[in-house]
Amino acid sequence: MEKEIQLTWMTSSHDLSHKLRKAHDTLSQKGKVSVVFANSSAHKRVGDPEKESIIRSVETQLGLGTNTNVVRWKETERSKRFWAVHLKGT
């Protein structure tokens, strides 16, 4: 099972937690999840340090780096248009 979640850097905490809950369900079933953060022309620009902080927070919320069975299946992608985190349940 593979799931892609698309967000902007300014996604509300409520929307983020709802989508991450679905991602967590996929990971718990040993599936793959890609969380993609895209820039939006409707929102202010977010600097790289803030992006790094958001990415680390999402990884932690999904269980990466804790005693869960979540690992990276692909390196984090960083471009001008989007950043993407790729995790899988084991």
- Please state the pTM of the whole predicted model: 0.90
What domains lie within the chain, and their CATH numbers? 2-89 (3.30.110.10)
Please give the Cα distance from 46 to 41 (Å, whole number): 11
**Is 32 strand, coil or helix?**
strand
Per-residue pLDDT of the chain (90 residues; tens, 9 = 90+): 999 999 999 999 999 999 999 999 999 999 999 999 998 877 778 899 999 999 999 999 999 988 679 999 999 999 989 999 999 999
The predicted structure's pLDDT at residue 67: 66
pLDDT at 40: 81
At residue 64, the pLDDT reads: 92
Is the CB of residue 71 less than 8 Å from the CB of residue 62?
Answer: no
